Amino acid sequence: MFYVQRDQQGVLVRVEAAAYAEATETLPADHHEIQAWYANDVVETSLKQLKQSDLDMIRVLDDLIQVLTSKGIIRVTDLPAAAQAKLKDRSSARVALGGLNQLINDDETGLI
């Protein structure tokens, strides 16, 4: 059994397994609205995880490009102009943050 709260249009706005003061009714776990509520929650959580993974991969790719260029395997000029511009912007931002090496560093062991 789930405790639910609806808005003025009758749409679920909160679903909890435990009772709470604002709950207006209860619905069984197999009710289609409960199933839809948790299906949307799963999708939202998955999208958040994917977005964080994308951010992590940007850093990996940035580091990979740095290694490949420093070893002479590729040149930045081998990349499309748009990619070159983005790499230049990221490089400038990382240099600008260099003065904050006590807060942020490449090993990700700083304060942040």
Q: Which residues contact 16 (CB under 8 A, 6 or more apart)?
A: 2, 3, 4, 23
Domain boundaries, the chain: 2-74
CA-CA distance, 78 to 74, in Å (whole number)?
Answer: 7
CA-CA distance, 80 to 75, in Å (whole number)?
Answer: 11
pLDDT at 12 over 60: yes
pLDDT at 104 over 50: no
For 28-45, the pLDDT digits (tens) are: 999 999 999 888 877 788
CA-CA distance, 102 to 52, in Å (whole number)?
Answer: 24
pLDDT of residue 64: 93
For the sheet with 2-6, list strands across it: 12-16, 2-6, 25-27
